[in-house]
Amino acid sequence: MDGDLGFSRTVHGIGSGLFFIGYLAQVPANMLCVALGPTRWLPILLVCWGAVAMCFAAISGTASFLVLRLLLGVAEAGAYPAIMYLLSLFYPPRMLGMAYTTVATATAVAGLLGAPLAAALTLLDGVGGLRGWQAMFLAEGLLPILLAAALPFLLPSSPLTARFLAPAEQQWLWQQVHGCRDVELVATPAGAEAAAMVASTEPSMSPAHEGHAADDTLLPREQGGAVHDRAADVERASHSNVEHAALLDPAQAASDESGASQHAKADGWEPGSHSSSSWAALRVGLSDSRIWHLACAMLLIDLTMNSINFFLPSLVRAALLGELQEDASPDSSSTESTEHGASSSTALLIKSSLLSALPFCGAAVCMVGNAWHAQRADERRLHTVAPMCFAALGLAATPLLSALGPGFALAALTLAASGIWATHGPFFSWPSALLDHKAAAIGFALVKTGGAVGGFLGPFGVGALADAFHGYTAAMLMLAGVALAAGALVLAFRDRR
Residue 278 lies in a domain: no
Distance CA 72, CA 84 (A): 20
The answer on 100 and 133 residing in a single domain is yes
Distance CA 458, CA 482 (A): 10
Residue 496 lies in a domain: no
Residue 408 has what pLDDT?
93
**3-state DSSP helix/strand/coil % of the chain, to nearest 5:** 75, 0, 25
The answer on 244 and 314 residing in a single domain is no
User: Where are the strands (E) in 55-183, listed by range?
Assistant: none
Each residue's pLDDT expressed in tens, for the chain with a length of 497 residues: 766 777 777 887 888 778 888 887 877 887 788 788 888 889 999 999 999 999 998 888 888 889 999 999 888 888 877 888 888 888 887 777 778 778 877 777 777 777 777 777 777 777 777 887 788 888 889 999 999 998 888 888 888 888 888 888 888 888 887 765 444 443 333 443 444 344 334 444 333 333 333 333 333 333 333 333 333 333 333 334 333 434 344 444 434 433 333 333 434 444 444 455 556 666 766 777 888 888 899 999 999 998 998 888 889 888 888 888 776 544 444 444 444 445 566 677 777 777 888 888 888 889 889 988 988 888 888 999 999 999 999 999 999 898 888 899 999 999 999 999 999 878 877 766 676 666 666 777 778 888 888 888 888 889 889 888 888 999 999 999 999 999 999 999 876 65
Residue 372 lies in a domain: yes
The answer on 112 and 27 residing in a single domain is yes
Residue 269 has what pLDDT?
42
Distance CA 40, CA 36 (A): 6
Domains contained in the chain, number: 2
State which of 238, 268, 298 marks the end of a domain.
268
The answer on 387 and 251 residing in a single domain is no
Distance CA 313, CA 357 (A): 9
Residue 147 has what pLDDT?
92
Alpha carbons within 13 angstroms on the beta-carbon side of residue 118 total 21
Residue 230 lies in a domain: yes
The answer on 365 and 487 residing in a single domain is yes
Residue 389 has what pLDDT?
96
The answer on 145 and 165 residing in a single domain is no
Contact call for residues 462 and 10 (beta carbons, < 8 A) = no
Residue 314 lies in a domain: yes
Residue 277 lies in a domain: no
Which is nearest to 466 in space by CA: 348, 326, 369, 335? 326
The answer on 229 and 343 residing in a single domain is no
The answer on 177 and 147 residing in a single domain is no
The answer on 370 and 443 residing in a single domain is yes
Residue 118 maps to which CATH number?
Answer: 1.20.1250.20
- The one-letter code for the residue type at 67 is V
Query: According to DSSP H, which parts of 123-249 are helical?
Result: 132-154, 167-178, 189-200, 234-238, 241-248
Neighbours of 136 (CB within 10 A): 23
Host domain of residue 381: 2-154+286-491
Per the document, the length of the chain is 497
Which residues touch 208 (CB under 8 Å, ≥6 apart)?
A: 228, 229, 230, 231
Residue 238 has what pLDDT?
37
Residue 261 has what pLDDT?
35
The answer on 306 and 184 residing in a single domain is no
Residue 19 has what pLDDT?
85
End-to-end CA gap in the chain: 49
State which of 234, 268, 302 marks the end of a domain.
268
Residue 320 lies in a domain: yes
Residue 180 has what pLDDT?
55
Instruction: Note if the pTM is more than 0.85.
Output: no
Residue 195 lies in a domain: yes
Distance CA 353, CA 316 (A): 8
Neighbours of 201 (CB within 10 A): 8
Distance CA 395, CA 478 (A): 9
The answer on 365 and 319 residing in a single domain is yes
The answer on 295 and 260 residing in a single domain is no
153 CB-contact burial (10 Å; exposed 0-12 / middle 13-18 / buried 19+)? exposed
